[in-house]
Chains A and B, each alone.
Chain A
Amino acid sequence: MATRLVFIFLSAILINNFVLSRFLGICPFLGVSKKTDTAVGMSIAVTFVMIMASIITWLLNIALDALGIPFLRTIVFILIIATLVQFVEIFLKKASPSLYDALGIFLPLITTNCAILGLALLNVQQNYTLLETIVNAAGAGLGFALALILFSTIRERMELSGVPEPFKGTAIALITAGLLSMAFMGFQGLVKL
């Protein structure tokens, strides 16, 4: 049991890294990775929402199955995530204004981050138990954070180097991400579920 949880956790961070091998959450990955500070803020917000959303959608999925309407899953999940993000925003504004200011625009943007909905749907597909769901969400969040922060540090360095004109902007960022993804491929086969 415990080893299975460790496997799920490691697999979510390293082997099936959400950004670099599952291609979930590429938009924020490319969008907010220009500075390390914002990357850290975004990572914290995403990890938090991931864990909350996973727990709530897991519970709701039982209700959907019991009512015999699993085809409404996508609609229900996305509404839950949107509401949750709104709720987190209001809560943070009151409880910790400094963190709220630091996250700024990134909070509302989390709704359209496909990593969150993707994670919720994956948890259901894999038939995870509640505990496994939470562990998987934590791993996915940390994996997202790891990829985003690594990538942002590389991009900060890249500002200083001379990139050929046509490669400036998105093109060089994508190729860098490709190399990073190749490095993560090295983890393949580290654990087998």
Chain B
Amino acid sequence: MAESKFKVLTNGIFKQNPIFIQVLGMCPTLATTTSAENGLGMGLATTAVLAMSNITISLVRNFIPDKIRIPSYIVIIASFVTMIDMLMHGFIYDLWKTLGLFIPLIVVNCIILGRAEAFASKNGVFRSFLDGLGMGLGFTASLVLLGSVREFLGNGSIFNYHLSDVKMFAMILPPGAFIALGMLAAFFNYLGIKRSKPKKAAK
């Protein structure tokens, strides 16, 4: 409990990054990262749901009997997802159309239920909000990174900004998603191994 508020916030971005460390929420990660822009949209939508559901669940955590907590959480999350779905339909129709099925599917994103169960049901309102925000931003950052890599390799641009004429179309297709994420995961593993090695040598 001694963790500072700042640590709660940054935890989700680096140390417990939902995608690269915890490997949660893979479906939207792979499906919506055909471009950096789509990744950003999906990430922010998830962040909004995550922060709001964490606040709400933290507020009602003492009133919900233990046995029915999971269904209650799902209803709370589903309500926020419906709100986001309708807001996006109303204000950013193009993005809503591209993301399509994956907006209602935020409900079954393991990150959200996971944070509700692991953090919001045990912590105060403000800390839960920070945790949701941090996890959401970590998720968004990973999505934007993966989206940028795929958009650059597949379409020669990042955020629709033209950079190169080399286009490997396969990177935008489904196989590209798996391969790009696999390569990125390997790259982060490599960095982790490299960083832990000098420490071992020093011992």
Contact = CB atoms under 8 A, between A and B. Distances in A.
A26 interface: yes
Given A27-B27, A74-B107, A165-B193, A118 B101 contact: yes
Contacts of B101: 118, 121-122, 125
Interface in B154-188: 170, 173-179, 181-183, 185-187
Interface stretch (B51-59, B77-85, B91-99, B119-127): B77-85
B78 A174 contact: no
A75 B108 CA distance: 11
A30 B105 contact: no
A114 interface: yes
Contacts of B183: 171, 175
Interface stretch (A15-23, A39-47, A131-139): A15-23
Given A121-B104, A166-B190, A171 B27 contact: no
A25 B27 contact: yes
Interface string B44-76: 000000000000000000000000001100110
Contacts of A179: 175, 179
A132 to B, nearest CB: 18
A185 B182 contact: no
B8 interface: no
A178 interface: yes
B190 A181 contact: no
Given A113-B108, A121-B104, A166-B186, A23 B86 contact: no
Contact of A112 (B108, B178, B190): B108
A22 B31 contact: yes
Given A23-B30, A24-B27, A75-B78, A174 B179 contact: yes
Interface of B: 23-24, 26-28, 30-31, 70-71, 74-75, 78-79, 81-82, 85-86, 101, 104-105, 107-110, 113, 170, 173-179, 181-183, 185-187, 189-190, 193
